[in-house]
Every structure is written in structure tokens, then in C-alpha cells.
């Protein structure tokens, strides 16, 4: 294969921990004469020994450039071999750092997976292989390492290679290939060597030379706006990274959201304006007319615009220790855009052995599946197969700001364009005015037996006596009708609260004051409910009583049954209750009687001028 001097191949090196990734990269660089002077000095400080710990120490200690996508624990190295430039990502092999491997592989053209010949394909090796298939990295080389430990036996290599070939075939990786190596001794890295004379395939060096880079050009132009600058002459300049196609002055583009057309006026540079900006380059540009743009806007090809939607289907790789349940809210980061999002439906889980569909109501850590997502507002995006720049995203937990998932857009959902809000002539304000009241929600939460329903009932009676139009949504009552199909698994609890919150929202639109009495054990679901309302229209009322007290009360005998094992997933016993951190109203029912607690709620409503 002939390669040009400017061709760049993005390579990720991955595999299970201790299978020799850093040793391989250090040895390959040393044999090719590419170690920096300071790296050679570091080796010399270890006595000049070319042993595994020393190569690993060189690579781990000196590859200092960090990824900025999901986390910052992927080491990168640029190198050039035989006129081709390589961008090499050394991904950590520990299971807890799987998200770092995803960071590195998202933009990779090809991958090398290392495997210890004495251990074969570990669960982490297979997981990395499945992730590469999901991420669209189809050129995969398995380097069966540590052949020196089995005296370079062909049979040991062929056994691992056969298992790998079968796994790759089931994953649809037609370009997969196995190579025997000894990273420690240098066998089959740049040259095969006499100890692997039985192998008729390429060396690692020759294998890398045959890999085609992903074509930077030929796609649709995309430039997600990352910065907006104000120039000295008052004009706005937009900064971002070009992908898909070359950008030139005078070129017509569309700006999304808004679908506004403009032309590129200048590509700014310190010395002189640029004649063009190549895919992969970061640029600062001006447009020929004022356009409403901000961080998160996307400049796109006139003829091939992105899809602007608030609902889409995606392949999601779940990274959090807490499972994914449909209905919970997250922050979605796609390119330079941040927007509130929720997974509305887990369509199925993907089998890591062959990516076949498996029924699932949740996704566990490092599992991946196909999900539908809904956003708080429409954003421009593309299918991952069309653009990695605007087709990949991460989900962030809004409470602790951890990255909980990585995703690849599959397609927009037709319902996003087929469904439209239908405004009515009579609105919420008109209905509330007719009733002479301000609608709001009192969301009572607490352990079973804390007194939620009792206090809510008393509050409703008092409001009714004041001439207010009210309705009490009780958890037990809802489960006998609207939610009778739901059990008490964590996923069902999430859906139970989601439905209850939507019903409460509709009732406040009708001008009604709504009281709810649900355990609602998860903070995320209570915040999801709060997000449906304005600040003044939702009050979280924490009916606080410790487990020892409510278990002693046990008015329905539920705690006793849960202790006996007759009730599973019972809150407080074998399922958690996450206490509200900052409730609007807190009622300690070990100190307050039910009437006193109700009076405290009414007093809080008076102070807020809600009644």
C-alpha cells in the first residue's frame, strides 16, 4: 500500500490490564529509533535494561497529552513510520477505566488489542472487542503477546487466534487479524525474527502500514461552535473544529438551530487570513452578516444539513455503577451542546458476544444497549455513521457531575417531527383564575409509615375548607389503576414516579392544587418531577421519621413481611431511600402529631402566599 507523507492514522492500543500495552509501544518506538532523548535518559537511569517495567515506565511516565472527551486518563503519542503519521492512544486496561478506552476508540481508525497468550481472551479483552465493533472500528489486530513465555509455540498462538476469529466473526469484524508477538523481546514488531519463523503473516510494523486511515474528507461539513469572540471592530468571530469537509472563505453555510444561511467572510490567523481550513483543524472565522450564534450552534453544509430534533435513538454504553433506568434525567453533552435529557425507553440490551438484541429493562455497568432519548429542546445532530463529531454524546449525572454513559446516535425518531404541541384557547392562567387560586403541587415523600398519606389528607381537608380545588394522588391508589402494571423493582419505581409526576402536571394545568403521597425513594425521580414545574409550583414535603420508628408503627404489616423475606425490594429494608437534601418543607413526625404537621404545611403555604 502506498501512503502519502501527510496521511494520519489514529490508532488505539487496548486490552486487559498487564497484557503488555505500554511495553509494546515503548519497544516499538525504541526499535524504530523514535524514543525522545529524555525517554532514553529515563531508560539509562534504570541501567539501560530493556525489561518490561522499564518500557512501561517510559511510556506511562512521558505520554503527557490528555484526552478531553469523557475523562482525562488516556495517554497519546504522535509518531511517524515510513512516511506515515500515527496518533497512538494507549488506553488503560483496568475494568474501571473502560470509559477511557471508549474515549480513545471513538475517533480511532484502527485498533491493536493485546492478549497474554497464557491467559487467552479475558472478559475485558472481549469487552474491548465488542466496544470496538459498536464504535465502528473495524480494522482490529489482536497481538497475542508474551510468546516468549510459551517458547514461541505455534499451537498456543493458534488456539487464541481461533477463539479471537470466532468472536470477531460474530461481532461482524471482517477485517480482524491475529499476530504473535513478544513485546518484551521485540519479536514480530518491526521484524518477524527466527523464533516466529512458522508464522507467515505480517509484523506489527507491516500490518500498520496496510491499514487505511479514515477519510477526513468526503463527508458533510460540520463546525460545532465552541467559542464566540468579540473582535476589536465589534464583529463576532466563531471558533470551533472543522470536520467532514474543507471550509473556505466565501463558502455558504447554514447555522443551526435556526437554519439561517450565511457565508464565511474570513478564516482568521495571527499573520494572515487562511485560504482554507482542513477537516480536523481548529479555526476562528467571521460570517458576512450578523447571525444569532452561541456555544453549541453548528455551522453546516448547505446541501447536507444535520437533523434538528429533540428525540432520537442511540446505542448507549452505560458506565455508572448505578444501573440505567428509563425516565431518569441527565445532562447530555453532544459536541459543544449541553441540554437536559432522559432515556425514555430501553429498547434492548446488546449481547457482547455477537451484538444480538436481548430483552432488558435496565442497563448495568459496562453493558450497552439501544435506547430512545428525549431532550429538553431540539438540537442539531447526525447519525454516528455520518459524523462522529455530531453523532457522539455523553450523559452526565446532574447531581455529582460524573459521566455515566457514552452514546452514538442511530437516527432521529419520527415522532419528534410528527407530534406537535396543540395550544388551546383556554390556558392554565384562565383555568386558575376561574377557580380563584394558584395551582401548585405538594409532593409528600418519606418512608412507608412516616405519615405521608395521613398528613396529606389533613392538608387537603383544610384546603377544601378554604374553598380550594384540590386532588390527592396517593401511591397505593394509583397502583390500583394507572400504574397497576408496575412492580417494585428500581426500574418500575422510576416509571411509577414519572407517570405520577406527569399526571400532577396535567392537573395543575387544569388549575388544580395537587397533593401527592409517594415514597418516591430516589432523589433523581423527585428532581425529575420538580423539573416539570416552575420554582413556585412545586414544593417537596419531607415527612421525616427514622426506620426504627416507622417499623415499630408498621400499620400495614409491610415491614414485618419484608423482614421475613415475603416482600422484595421494600424501601428501608432491601431497597434504599435517599433522603431529600434540601426539602421545601420538613416534618419530623416523631415530634409532631399529624394535625400539627398539617398546620405546619399550611403555615408554609401562607408564608409563600400560595393560599
Express each pLDDT in 463-496 by its tens digit.
999 999 999 998 888 888 898 988 888 888 888 9
Q: How far apart are CA 131 and CA 127, in angstroms?
A: 6
**Higher pLDDT among residues 16 and 338, named by residue:** 338
pLDDT at 4: 38
Task: Say if residue 220's pLDDT is above 80.
Answer: yes
Query: Is residue 466 classed exposed, middle or buried when 0-12, 13-18 and 19+ CB atoms within 10 A define those classes?
Result: exposed
Bin 569: left if φ > 0, else alpha if -120 < ψ < 50, else beta: left
The whole-number average pLDDT for the span 150-178 is 94
Residue 577 CA to its chain's centroid (Å): 25
Would strands 362-363 and 368-381 be described as parallel, antiparallel, or unpaired?
A: unpaired
pLDDT at 416: 57
pLDDT at 46: 42
Task: Say if residue 149's pLDDT is above 60.
Answer: yes
Q: Residue 266 contacts by C-beta under 8 Å, 6 or more apart in sequence?
A: 249, 273, 285, 286
Q: How far apart are CA 563 and CA 570, in angstroms?
A: 9
Cα radius of gyration rounded to whole Å, the chain: 30
Task: Say if residue 72's pLDDT is above 50.
Answer: no
Would strands 403-412 and 307-318 be described as parallel, antiparallel, or unpaired?
A: antiparallel
Would strands 110-116 and 8-15 be described as parallel, antiparallel, or unpaired?
A: parallel
Task: Establish how many alpha carbons lie within 13 A of residue 452's alpha carbon, considering only the half-sphere containing its beta carbon.
Answer: 26
pLDDT at 26: 78
Mean pLDDT taken over the chain: 85
Bin 527: left if φ > 0, else alpha if -120 < ψ < 50, else beta: alpha
**Higher pLDDT among residues 75 and 8, named by residue:** 8
Task: Say if residue 396's pLDDT is above 50.
Answer: yes
* Model pLDDT for residues 229-247, shown as the tens digit of each residue: 888 887 889 999 998 899 9
Question: DSSP 3-state helix, strand, coil percentages of the chain (rounded to 5)?
Answer: 30, 30, 40
Residues with catalytic roles: 520
pLDDT at 324: 94
The whole-number average pLDDT for the span 79-85 is 72
pTM of this structure = 0.75
C-alpha cell read off for 182: 513478544
pLDDT at 567: 84
The kind and range of the H/E element at 401 are none
pLDDT at 28: 76
Q: Taking Cα atoms as reference points, which of 16, 88, 17, 24 lies closest to residue 52?
A: 24
pLDDT band at 190 (very low <50, low <70, confident <90, very high): confident
**Highest mean pLDDT (candidates 84-98, 425-439, 592-606):** 592-606
Domains and CATH numbers, the chain: 8-210 (3.40.50.300), 222-301 (2.40.30.10), 308-414 (2.40.30.10), 428-607 (3.40.50.300)
Amino acid at each position: 500500500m502506498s501512503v502519502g507523507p501527510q496521511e494520519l492514522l489514529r490508532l488505539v492500543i487496548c486490552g486487559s490490564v498487564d497484557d503488555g500495552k505500554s511495553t509494546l509501544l515503548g519497544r516499538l518506538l525504541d526499535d524504530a529509533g523514535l524514543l525522545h532523548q529524555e525517554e532514553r535518559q529515563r531508560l539509562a537511569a534504570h541501567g539501560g535494561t530493556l525489561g518490561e517495567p522499564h518500557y512501561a515506565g517510559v511510556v506511562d511516565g512521558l505520554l503527557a497529552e490528555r484526552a478531553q472527551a469523557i475523562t482525562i486518563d488516556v495517554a497519546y503519542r504522535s509518531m511517524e513510520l515510513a512516511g506515515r503519521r500515527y496518533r497512538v492512544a494507549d488506553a488503560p486496561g483496568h475494568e474501571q477505566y473502560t470509559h477511557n478506552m471508549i474515549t480513545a476508540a471513538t475517533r480511532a481508525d484502527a485498533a491493536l488489542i493485546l492478549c497474554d497468550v497464557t491467559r487467552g481472551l479475558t472478559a475485558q479483552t472481549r469487552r474491548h472487542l465488542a466496544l470496538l465493533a459498536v464504535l465502528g472500528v473495524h480494522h482490529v489486530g489482536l497481538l497475542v503477546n508474551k510468546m516468549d513465555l510459551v517458547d514461541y509455540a505455534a499451537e498456543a498462538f493458534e488456539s487464541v487466534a481461533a477463539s479471537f476469529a470466532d468472536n470477531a466473526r460474530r461481532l461482524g469484524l471482517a477485517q480482524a487479524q491475529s499476530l504473535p508477538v513478544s513485546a518484551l523481546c521485540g519479536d514480530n514488531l518491526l521484524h518477524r525474527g527466527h523464533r516466529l519463523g512458522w508464522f507467515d503473516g505480517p509484523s506489527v510494523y507491516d500490518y500498520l502500514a496496510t491499514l487505511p486511515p479514515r477519510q477526513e474528507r468526503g463527508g458533510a461539513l460540520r463546525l460545532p461552535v465552541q467559542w464566540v469572540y468579540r473582535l476589536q471592530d465589534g464583529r463576532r468571530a466563531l471558533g470551533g473544529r472543522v470536520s467532514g469537509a474543507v471550509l473556505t472563505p466565501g463558502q455558504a453555510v447554514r447555522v443551526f438551530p435556526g437554519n439561517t444561511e450565511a457565508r464565511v467572510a474570513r478564516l482568521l490567523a495571527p499573520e494572515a487570513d487562511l485560504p482554507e481550513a482542513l477537516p480536523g483543524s481548529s479555526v476562528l472565522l467571521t460570517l458576512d452578516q450578523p447571525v444569532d450564534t452561541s456555544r453549541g450552534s453548528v455551522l453546516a453544509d448547505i446541501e447536507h444539513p444535520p437533523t434538528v430534533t429533540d428525540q432520537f435513538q442511540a446505542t448507549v454504553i452505560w458506565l455508572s455503577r448505578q444501573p440505567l433506568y428509563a425516565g431518569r434525567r441527565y445532562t447530555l453533552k453532544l459536541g459543544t451542546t449541553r441540554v437536559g435529557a432522559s432515556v425514555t425507553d430501553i429498547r434492548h440490551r446488546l449481547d457482547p458476544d455477537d451484538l444480538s438484541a436481548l430483552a432488558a429493562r435496565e442497563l448495568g455497568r459496562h453493558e450497552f444497549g439501544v435506547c430512545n432519548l428525549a431532550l429538553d429542546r431540539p438540537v442539531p445532530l447526525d447519525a454516528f455513521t455520518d459524523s462522529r463529531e455530531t453523532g457522539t454524546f455523553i450523559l452526565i449525572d446532574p447531581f455529582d457531575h460524573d459521566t455515566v454513559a457514552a452514546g452514538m446516535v442511530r437516527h432521529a425518531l419520527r415522532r419528534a417531527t410528527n407530534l406537535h404541541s396543540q395550544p388551546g384557547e383556554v390556558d392554565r392562567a384562565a383555568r386558575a383564575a376561574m377557580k380563584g387560586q394558584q395551582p401548585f403541587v405538594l409532593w409528600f415523600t418519606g418512608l412507608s409509615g412516616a405519615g405521608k398519606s395521613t398528613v396529606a389528607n389533613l392538608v387537603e381537608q383544610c384546603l377544601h375548607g378554604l374553598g380550594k380545588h384540590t386532588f390527592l394522588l396517593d401511591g397505593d391508589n394509583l397502583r390500583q389503576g394507572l400504574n397497576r402494571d408496575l412492580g417494585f423493582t428500581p426500574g418500575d419505581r422510576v416509571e411509577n414516579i414519572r407517570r405520577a409526576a406527569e399526571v400532577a402536571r396535567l392537573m395543575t394545568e387544569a388549575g388544580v392544587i395537587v397533593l401527592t403521597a409517594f415514597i418516591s425513594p430516589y432523589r433523581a425521580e423527585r428532581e425529575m418531577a420538580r423539573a416539570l414545574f416552575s420554582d413556585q409550583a412545586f414544593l417537596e414535603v419531607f415527612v421525616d421519621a427514622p426506620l426504627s420508628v416507622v417499623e415499630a408503627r408498621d400499620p400495614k404489616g409491610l415491614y414485618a413481611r419484608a423482614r421475613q423475606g415475603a416482600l422484595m425490594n421494600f424501601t428501608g429494608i432491601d431497597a434504599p431511600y435517599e433522603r431529600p437534601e434540601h426539602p421545601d418543607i420538613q416534618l419530623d413526625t416523631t415530634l409532631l402529631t399529624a394535625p400539627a404537621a398539617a398546620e405546619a404545611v399550611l403555615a408554609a403555604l401562607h408564608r409563600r402566599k400560595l393560599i
